[in-house]
Structure 1
């Protein structure tokens, strides 16, 4: 018997939806819950940084956000709980934490404005991709590239160090050196991941 062809979204041409599609539509999973909690922590982080200036708690929240980012991905793969929603809110939480931290660092005068706009500018430059993929029937986006995760991890290391560098303490200088090293490396990787993302989308749409 000849098998029926499937479209780009994984749907069978005759109209039935594969079982994997139903699984992909799941919302109530532990990885999604962790990503949602990470999203809810963004305004709390900004308040800690700009309100009481509780840098210790803010840094602890960043660390927890980084750990939950690693954990939700690991659980999603181990428990077969990957979903379309997870592929949206997981990178969204990463980007919002990056933007929130950059806003806090700029307003605290810990970094110059050009560094604060370098990472968000890449995301603005890629805004055309999701509408293109939806129009072609490929969903929101291809899987996140490992390089993008590495870039995000480097930036998440940089931000707590740069906050600590703004303190007048014995550890400020070493934190400043390490923080800037991670920030420059992470920003470079972030842009390079964006280039690879464009290449990935080009191959997907032309394949």
Structure 2
């Protein structure tokens, strides 16, 4: 394996995936939300650059082709896991999150079983699916940060004071927003986008399954 710039970008994107979750372990909110958003967006941008540079500089490699979809899936899966835990609209995330996670596991298992029998190449629709997922997730991370700050503003506290109040059980960002419309526009837009992404994800899953059916039939 040669550590070309495209391969390095792909590898860094893979490392960024768990980094999104780590932000919430080592930083208080809303800083964790902003850092996670910045890390996720930066990693998502490399998803376009690594492929573009590899083709431009003729540095396409088997390692990059193998690692690229793994990095994409790791980013999406871990980010969705974090969002379902920290987003105030988490109940509405469960179904689209389930569809996305199920499809990723299903297609990965399908590829592993078929191996060289069938070349399930990435389609244009699958690329749009990945783009939709990343835009939706980035928007939802923005929404979680704004939602938290809304809770801070409603009680007239600074973020630092609010963190202290939460740690002492005197305030809660979700309860503080309970009777108010503090779900930000970004959060609502992100929720619409994640449902669109889930639909595209389901369609690509069916597309891959349909292509694989001839290879799954038992020989007479």
Query: Does the pair score TM above 0.5?
Result: yes
Is the 1:50–1:104 Cα contact (8 Å) retained in structure 2? no
1:112-131 per-residue CA deviation (whole Å, 9 max, x = no partner) reads 23333221101222244223
- Which residue of structure 1 aligns with residue 6 of structure 2? 31
1:82-113 per-residue CA deviation (whole Å, 9 max, x = no partner) reads 22221221111111111111111111144223
Distance 1:115 1:125 in 2: 15
Sort the Cα spacing of 1:187 and 1:146 in 2 relative to 1 into closer, same or farther, 3 A: same
- Which residue of structure 2 aligns with residue 130 of structure 1? 111
1:45 aligns with 2:56: no
- Which residue of structure 2 aligns with residue 155 of structure 1? 133
TM-score (norm 2): 0.71
Sort the Cα spacing of 1:176 and 1:50 in 2 relative to 1 into closer, same or farther, 3 A: same
- Which residue of structure 2 aligns with residue 189 of structure 1? 200
For the residue of structure 1 that corresponds to 2:134, the secondary structure is helix
TM-score (norm 1): 0.75
Sort the Cα spacing of 1:87 and 1:142 in 2 relative to 1 into closer, same or farther, 3 A: farther
Distance 1:189 1:107 in 2: 23
1:111-161 per-residue CA deviation (whole Å, 9 max, x = no partner) reads 22333322110122224422343253x6xx543212112111111111122
- Which residue of structure 1 aligns with residue 98 of structure 2? 117
- Which residue of structure 1 aligns with residue 72 of structure 2? 94
For the residue of structure 1 that corresponds to 2:16, the secondary structure is helix
Distance 2:10 2:116 in 1: 27
1:69 aligns with 2:47: yes
Distance 2:131 2:116 in 1: 31
Unaligned runs of 5+ in 1: 1-25
Sort the Cα spacing of 1:142 and 1:75 in 2 relative to 1 into closer, same or farther, 3 A: farther
Higher helix share: 2
1:203 Cα deviation after fit: 7.2
Q: What is the count of residue pairs matched by the alignment?
A: 178
Report 1:165-184 matches (<5 A).
165-166=143-144, 167=147, 168-169=149-150, 172-184=183-195
